[in-house]
Structure 1
Amino acid sequence: MTAILLHNVAKSYRSYDHPWETLWEVFTKTRRHREWTALHPLSLEIAHGEVVGIVGTNGAGKSTLLKLIAGTLTPSAGDIRVNGHVAALLELGAGFHPDMTGRENVYLGASVMGLSSERVDRLYDGIVEFAGLGEFMDQPVKTYSSGMYMRLAFAVATAADPDVLILDEALSVGDGAFARKSFERIIGYKDAGKTILFCSHSLYQVEAICSRVLWLDHGRLVMDGEPARVVSAYAEFLGGGGEGCGTPDQPAPAAVAGSGVGRLTKVEVEADGVEGRKLTVRSGQTDLTVAVGFASDPALPPPSVGLTITGSNGWAVTSASTSNDGLTISRRPDGSGEVELSFPRFPLLKGAYWVNVFLLCEQGIHLYDRIEHAAELEVVQDGLEQGVVSLPRRWSVNGAPASAVSPTVPTVAAW
């Protein structure tokens, strides 16, 4: 069943050198404007339940396409049909008024989305609970921190169980525990069979989450297909410097020579040799390995690679980095390389954890690229040991070593 149908949809804009030229053009019927096309004629069909990623450089037409589908822009040509209720996170907080309270802005923002007051009445408590702002809802939002503002805006935009969810660089928002909560809400919509469209510069997330990917360049559709194939072609295009449109038949080189940047090209997490994005780990027994591939400008010093493991509350439980451990990464002549980090007999105790990977400059300060939530670890354990980590230990009784000795937990391997 079709969720979204576009037939020869295009969007153009007019620009004038001076404001008075608009009126002059009307009276004299003499053209005074320049016209530029943000989206060339595009026909597209998206089925219910598809998760469609949209990739492209800045100015490629991604946001224009999403706004047209969301109904916040009117096409210059063509027809658009969307079946079902649409929720869009195009600009968090669009429709909020700074002088109005959080409570008032919930109703205002929801009305912008087309929800009735009666439906907002039913959703209100859930919105407040999700945002975690109960004690602040009767204060003007201009007194909110940026994080509080984002939490309320996200909660309002995603509260109504939409049939179609549109995301513009907003796969998860905020930080810490709320970022995880927002990410889980969006993944929950995917698992429920909702139609999701989102554009993102995180190619790892696009490939991991989507069932289909569109690549736009200068308002034209370059490629539409299976995520691994489209993402690979787009990554090669980016590696060539992003000049021109590029085609899958003529891929650009994968290096990033002369770009002054670096990017992650691979993150694979394995538990006892089994690779996946959701892994079960047995505390004190499983060997965990993280393999990272990258491309970098060979004219710059070799980058550093870092990793954090965060708990369900968003707090970092542990971290490791090549710069902190004094390791300089050897690279191939084209600037690419790979590193591997191992955690023998993974020492964290039961709980849910996330693996996050970062590519940084040689000093570990400037961030080139990152992949958050690269893998989810579900740690299980034997026994009733409490806390976060099992530390090596030895008991003695009356000054004499006891026979019961904890299994020795090896030190975490360095890069």
Structure 2
Amino acid sequence: MDRAIVHMDLDTFFVSCERLTNSKLNGLPLIIGGGDRGVVAACSYEARTFGVRSAMPIKMALRLCPQAKVMKGDMELYSKLSHDVTQVIEDKAPIVEKASIDEFYLDITGMDKFYGCYQWTNELAHSITKETGLPISFALSVNKTVSKIGTGESKPVGRLEIPEIMVKPFLNPLSIQKIPMVGEVTFQLLSRIGIRNIQTLSEMPAEVLQRMIGKNGLELWKKANGIDNNPVEPYTERKSISTEHTFVQDTIDIHKLKSLLVGMVEKLAFQLRSEEWLTSTVVIKIRYANFDTETKQCKIAYTSSDHALTKTVTDLFDKLYQRRMRLRLIGIRFSGLVRGTYQINMFDDTEEMLSLYQAMDKMKKRYGFDAVARCAGATLKTKNNNVS
């Protein structure tokens, strides 16, 4: 039995959310982002016609499209509407994976016996728009890779079905940049040897590709040939990420405690970004020498940035640690997580800050977490890291 995998993507999600609450924005070139030195988090199709793209500096975007309206963005609104869409899909689909704040994978294999898969998906898309007011595109195919590429090709408000017999004809003429795992560095590397479309890539010997780009070479070759056996992973709404540090000797050294907290935040924030999570709830925990344990938490705007989380954690610590007794343990937990990359929360940050985080994360992924760190937390050694 052929698999039936659907990829659904909310069209220009942030822009659509803003237009849902303010119809006067309809038809206007709209940029979601923050400040003159910030970056574009999202933009409307009207702005894209002028060359505006996500992650572009706001100043450059406004040079390309000076008539654009710039809005800071409202992550609380976007998260709520994303949750509403998730509820509609989960009420109807057998297996759902929420890949990010605005995209979903559905496994509806076998449903064609009772109800045509394309017709069912099309009616689900109409239900989503009717119940939430948000436009959505989808593609139905035999695996996650082909359906995701199909959605991108079908936008805006696209409805596309790619049966197995049509997978190769569909993929072959497309640019290799359409493959989700192909970034700018890989694209430039392959372009230099004349590999620019998927058909040429698919005909390249897999072992040669592996020698060129490393362990991901075989996976890239499979995707170019329309092969992807990755399952749709059921979505779990409630998740948290945490870490604790137990002292060998109880301490009352405030400077030491805050230095440890900075390092703990840096470690957890890096994990959030690596796994593409944003957190909305910060919890700090302390345990005194007499084993009394206290916690304090607060809600924040969705983020995965070190500097925002560090300030929240240190402020919470100052409010919580009032007894001035020795501590034997401190801990941090981030919860209220939603899928999303760091860039979509850059409403207050600058292009320089974004570049700094990207550079630091790249070094950590290549050389290990301890390769680069803030001085305040550089000596941190934590234990009991967990995700729940």
TM-score range, shorter chain: under 0.3
Relative to its length, the structure with more strand (as a share) is 1
TM-score by length of 2: 0.27
**Larger helix percent:** 2
Please say which structure displays the higher CA radius of gyration: 1
